[in-house]
């Protein structure tokens, strides 16, 4: 083993897909056995199913995750071609694989030139046709293929046709339909059945998912599989044994596909080259073809031994019999089943060893076995054991002992599942609450980035993941089309905003957040002390890409990731929207303030304009009228002397200068509480409220003195002087501002009589 643990990358599609999730489970088991890290890249398959409710217009954005596969991140890669690019042509698949040049790569499901592969033979499909012909006398055997042109679908269709010919039956194109490998192939099956007035003797499906859709159609039309028509699937998916009736299917060991592919990838790292592997497929007989679940048990030429019956039972469960016998779960399952059949076939024993078998079963259900089987499948296992053993037990006492044993084991199983369901429901409620907290916490702290991400990672840490890392691009990518994503390369650096390891949460300092994108799985912040199984999920909203997360957890929890990351993405979008909205509101407020100021301000002097002065002065007078304090009021009216002469002699720029100087004189001589406005071209008004009886007299003198001093200091060829009139009054509710100004104006004319005849200085 190298100084550091190897890491195997595994390309897959969405985790909501049962087939994909099952392959991931097998891959994770192999990684654990081999003591290597494994990281899953759930991009998005190119095999779009239009009826799939999980599809959306922007699901293709997940293809961005494929661009994160880098030789610095992974030492080898597994690519399930059929699942991800099975529908595209050979050249497009080659182009897709070229993305990963330089990384030792194993392909699975389909072969591809230049790459070691892990594939299945078609023996099981051939066996299924032979079984339908020889056991059930079927002559008209229909076939529901995958999409036309897809390599995987073509291989199974060819095997079906060859098997018909080998059994002396013609190939009838009218008995062939084309689905899309999903449970939404209802219409394809309906169209096939409607081609003839009579049902086919049997229908074979190119995978089990399409058989699910067919079962729904059969129920609608009152057709009973196994009675009115024989039905055979392909894959032996996890659900096939618990369909009603259980589905006879070709067992290709989906778990084993992921398991063997990862084992092959590890060998490729260590040896540099490996041979392609072909896994065996075989028929698993259940009731949908018309057989009893264990019809095969009658085919033994002589009395079977415990090993034969063990293989017969385990064959019913997808891939489990292929997983390494060194794996604890597999070993305990085999040991339990073999122990049961050893006791069942021992004619000397009148009773089963209840304690021994119950303890063995308890050890089994305490392992990851229960992550590979649901409750119904576990009951099928017990039923399979009983069905296979019953014909070989002659003693009535021993049969009674077996029934009692199964009653005890079923009780243990029910108790286990009751507790598991309780915890699952409790965990589900907790998860829903935590998911809702994500949006609440992120939006509540949208203005405080550190606190926002601290809350987010704290919420995620309570999902019992081993660790989670949140990486963001410096700037979101927006509007990338599907073709652009095929060529897209992520930025060289990303930001590690936050992460948790167990219950401990961390927010790197801003200067430490920059990480080489290729080092997302191995960097100074990631743990090298333990083996890791992790999955990436994309952070994006519609056509926007924000970043991605790396979550360390087992495949059993992968289905949780979708809802969590969706909530994070929605929260990021809402947070961005709220910040944008706040920015817009702030800009509008600022603009309104500017507009409001401009609407009441004089552009030349910066004083209030006529409108602004009247508005502010009337407010002040109204407020003063309601006050009970003994304060005095005065209105001052001022006029700039000889402005026309200055304009005519020196130009309007000098005239403007004179007006601004006059405004400055008033601003300097008055208090900040006084209201000053330019109410005409050369006219100014002031409202002052004061308590000193001498205020008006002193104000008049102050203005006159200040303007005299200013004129002595200036080098302008003209004088800037104001004529002033001040009217004092007591404020009441009936004060009229215009009348007060008129009174001040009248007094101004008294002062104006003493002005200079000319503003021009003598040469």
Q: b/e map of 416-452 (b: 16 or more CB within 10 Å)?
A: bbeeeeeeeeeeeeebeebbebbbebbbebbeeeeeb
The CA-based dihedral angle spanning residues 315, 319, 323, 328, taken in that order and rounded to the nearest 10 degrees: -80
| Residues 181 and 155 sit within 8 Å (Cβ to Cβ) | no
First to last CA, the chain: 104
Q: What is the largest CA-CA distance in the chain?
A: 144
Of 686, 760, 763, 673, give the one whose Cα is nearest residue 719. 760
Q: Tell me the sheet residues that pair with 38.
A: 8, 533
Catalytic residue among 45, 201, 682, 751: 682
Question: In whole angstroms, how large is the CA radius of gyration of the chain?
Answer: 43
| Three-class DSSP category at 570 | helix
Q: Tell me the sheet residues that pair with 515.
A: 494
Q: What DSSP state is assigned to residue 247?
A: P
| Residues 125 and 202 sit within 8 Å (Cβ to Cβ) | no
| Residues 256 and 23 sit within 8 Å (Cβ to Cβ) | no
| Residues 319 and 124 sit within 8 Å (Cβ to Cβ) | no
Contacts of 758 (CB under 8 A, 6+ apart): 642, 645
From residue 420, how far is each of 371, 416, 600 by CA, in Å? 11, 6, 73
Active site residue 656: no
**Rounded Cα–Cα distance for residues 679 and 699 (Å):** 20
| Residues 759 and 645 sit within 8 Å (Cβ to Cβ) | yes
**Rounded Cα–Cα distance for residues 99 and 395 (Å):** 65
| Three-class DSSP category at 589 | helix
Contacts of 246 (CB under 8 A, 6+ apart): 240, 286, 287, 288, 293, 380
From residue 26, how far is each of 253, 258, 324 by CA, in Å? 9, 5, 11
Of 741, 667, 742, 727, give the one whose Cα is nearest residue 696. 727
Burial bucket for residue 510 (CB in 10 Å: 0-12, 13-18, 19+): exposed
**Rounded Cα–Cα distance for residues 324 and 752 (Å):** 112
Angle at 192 between CA 191 and CA 194, to 5 degrees: 65
| Residues 318 and 235 sit within 8 Å (Cβ to Cβ) | yes
The catalytic residues are 682
């Amino acid at each position: 083993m190298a100084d550091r643990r190897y890491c195997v990358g595994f390309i897959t599609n969405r985790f909501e897909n049962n087939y994909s999730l099952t392959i991931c489970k097998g891959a994770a088991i192999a990684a654990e056995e081999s003591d290597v890290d494994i990281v899953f890249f759930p991009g998005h398959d190119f095999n779009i199913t239009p009826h799939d409710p999980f599809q959306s217009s922007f699901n293709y954005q997940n293809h961005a995750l494929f661009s994160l596969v880098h030789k610095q991140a992974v030492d080898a890669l597994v690519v399930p071609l059929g699942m991800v690019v099975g529908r595209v042509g050979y050249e497009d698949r080659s182009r897709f694989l070229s993305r990963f040049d330089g990384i030792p790569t194993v392909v699975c499901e389909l072969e591809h030139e230049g790459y070691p592969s892990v594939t299945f033979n078609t023996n099981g499909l051939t066996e299924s046709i032979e079984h339908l012909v020889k056991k059930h006398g079927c002559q008209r055997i229909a076939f529901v293929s995958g999409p036309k042109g897809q390599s995987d679908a073509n291989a199974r269709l060819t095997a079906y046709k060859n098997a018909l010919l080998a059994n002396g039956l013609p190939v009838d194109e009218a008995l062939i339909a084309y689905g899309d490998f999903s449970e939404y192939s209802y219409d394809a099956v309906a169209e096939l059945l409607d081609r003839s007035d009579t049902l086919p003797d049997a229908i074979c499906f190119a995978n089990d998912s399409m058989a699910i859709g067919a079962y729904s159609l059969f129920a609608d039309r009152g057709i009973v599989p196994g009675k009115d028509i024989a039905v055979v699937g392909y894959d032996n998916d996890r659900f096939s044994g618990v369909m009603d009736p259980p589905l006879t299917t070709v067992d290709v060991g989906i778990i084993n596909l992921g398991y063997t592919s990862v084992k092959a990838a590890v060998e490729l790292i260590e040896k540099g080259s490996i041979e392609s592997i072909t896994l065996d497929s075989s028929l698993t007989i259940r009731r949908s073809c018309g057989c009893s679940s264990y019809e095969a048990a009658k085919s033994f030429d002589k009395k079977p031994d415990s090993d034969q019956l063990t293989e017969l039972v385990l064959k019913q469960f997808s891939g489990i019999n292929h997983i390494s016998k060194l794996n604890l779960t597999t070993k305990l399952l085999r040991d339990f089943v073999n122990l049961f059949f050893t006791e069942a076939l021992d004619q000397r024993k009148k009773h089963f060893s209840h304690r021994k078998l119950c303890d063995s079963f308890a050890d089994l259900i305490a392992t990851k076995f229960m992550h590979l089987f649901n409750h119904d499948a576990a009951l099928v296992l017990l039923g399979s054991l009983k069905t296979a053993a019953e014909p070989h037990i002659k003693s009535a006492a021993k049969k009674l002992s077996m029934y009692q044993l199964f009653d005890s084991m079923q009780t243990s199983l029910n108790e286990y599942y009751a507790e598991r369901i309780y915890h699952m429901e409790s965990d589900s409620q907790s998860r829903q609450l935590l998911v809702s907290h994500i949006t609440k916490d992120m939006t509540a702290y949208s203005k405080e980035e550190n606190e926002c991400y601290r809350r987010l990672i704290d919420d995620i840490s309570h999902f019992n993941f081993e660790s989670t890392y949140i990486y963001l691009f410096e700037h979101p990518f927006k509007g990338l089309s599907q073709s652009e994503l095929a060529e897209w390369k992520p930025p060289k650096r990303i930001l590690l905003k936050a992460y948790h390891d167990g219950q401990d949460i961390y927010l790197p300092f801003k200067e430490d957040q920059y990480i080489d994108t290729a080092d997302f799985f191995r960097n100074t912040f990631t743990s090298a002390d333990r083996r890791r199984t992790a999955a990436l999920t994309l952070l994006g909203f519609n056509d926007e890409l924000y970043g991605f997360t790396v979550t360390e957890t087992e495949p059993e929890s992968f289905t949780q990731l979708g809802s969590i990351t969706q909530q994070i993405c929605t929260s990021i979008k809402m947070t961005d929207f709220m910040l944008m909205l706040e920015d817009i509101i702030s800009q509008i407020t600022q603009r309104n303030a500017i507009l409001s100021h401009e609407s009441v301000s004089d552009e030349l002097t910066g004083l209030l304009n006529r409108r602004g002065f009247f508005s502010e002065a009337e407010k002040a007078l109204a407020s003063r009228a309601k006050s009970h304090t003994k304060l005095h009021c005065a209105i001052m009216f001022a006029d700039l002397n000889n402005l026309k002469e200055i304009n005519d002699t020196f130009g309007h720029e000098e005239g403007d200068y004179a007006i601004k100087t006059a405004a400055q004189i008033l601003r300097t001589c008055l208090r900040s509480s006084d209201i000053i406005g330019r109410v005409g071209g050369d006219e100014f008004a002031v409202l002052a409220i004061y308590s000193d009886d001498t205020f008006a007299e002193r104000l008049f003198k102050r203005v006159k003195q200040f303007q005299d001093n200013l004129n002595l200091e200036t080098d302008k060829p003209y004088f800037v002087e104001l004529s002033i009139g001040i009217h004092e009054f007591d404020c009441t509710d009936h004060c009229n501002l215009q009348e007060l100004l008129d009174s001040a104006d009248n007094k101004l004319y008294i002062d104006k009589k003493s002005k200079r005849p000319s503003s021009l200085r003598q040469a």
